[in-house]
Amino acid sequence: MMSRTDMRIGQGVDAHAFCEERPLIVGGVTIPFEKGLAGHSDADVLVHAIMDALLGAAALGDIGVHFPDRDEQYRNISSLVLLGLVNTLITDQQYYVGNIDATLIAQAPRFQPYIEAMRRNLASALGVAIDQVSVKATTTEYMGFTGRSEGILAVATALLWKPSF
């Protein structure tokens, strides 16, 4: 019989505005584009949404609690490094990643050529198989801040499981 803590689902949402003179890093992949994303770390919007989904599923708060933007040790840090730290936090609670499902929302750039590399990076940082990580991309048909190409929005869902003994 399953206990109520055997599986947990978390949701994460993150958005970053475009800015000049910064590389665009999404899913740990540097994407050729005229703008990057504003943020304290490398501003990897996809990884941030996934981290919040994982932390939420484990009821461990959010990335601002663990990696505050007031802390200089996180300035320009790779979000994949932070994702590895989040993975340690959840495994310390005896949770394991079942799967991740994430969506990038932006009018530009086009993410399709980079999705497999993103999936590999995310799976590697989490120590899971690539088939446990899904990344998709869509537009908002020119509506809202993403449609006006002002930034990128990412949403993610994570399933965690804990072995029953």
Helix axes 79-92, 45-57, angle to 10 degrees: 10
Tell me what pLDDT residue 165 has. Answer: 63
Q: Is residue 21 part of a domain?
A: yes
Give the tens place of pLDDT for each residue, 1-43: 555 558 999 999 999 999 999 999 999 999 999 999 999 999 9
Classify residue 73: in a domain, yes or no. yes
Q: Would residue 47 count as lying in a domain?
A: yes
pLDDT grade for 53, boundaries at 50, 70 and 90:
very high
Q: Any idea how long the chain is?
A: 165
Give a yes or no: residue 2 inside a domain.
no
Q: pLDDT of 139-164, one tens digit each?
A: 999 999 999 999 999 999 999 999 87
What pLDDT is recorded for position 99? 98
Residue 1 lies in a domain: no
How is residue 7 written in tokens? 């599986």
63-108: pLDDT as tens digits: 999 999 999 999 999 999 999 999 999 999 999 999 999 999 999 9
pLDDT (0 to 100) of residue 63: 96
Phi, psi angles (nearest 5°) of residue 162 = -130, 130
Q: What predicted TM-score, i.e. pTM, was given to this entire model? A: 0.95
pLDDT at position 4, please? 55
Q: What are phi and psi of 44, to 5 degrees?
A: -75, 95
What CATH number corresponds to the domain at position 26? 3.30.1330.50
Task: Choose among 42, 92, 91: nearest CA to 67.
Answer: 42
Average pLDDT for the chain = 95
Structural domain that includes position 22: 7-161
CA distance 157 to 144: 22
Q: Is residue 18 part of a domain?
A: yes
Distances (CA, A) of 36 to 5, 26, 43, 131: 39, 10, 8, 28
* Number of domains present in the structure of the chain: 1
Per DSSP, the three-state class of 67 is: coil
Residue 3's pLDDT is 56
Would 150 be classed as within a structural domain? Answer: yes
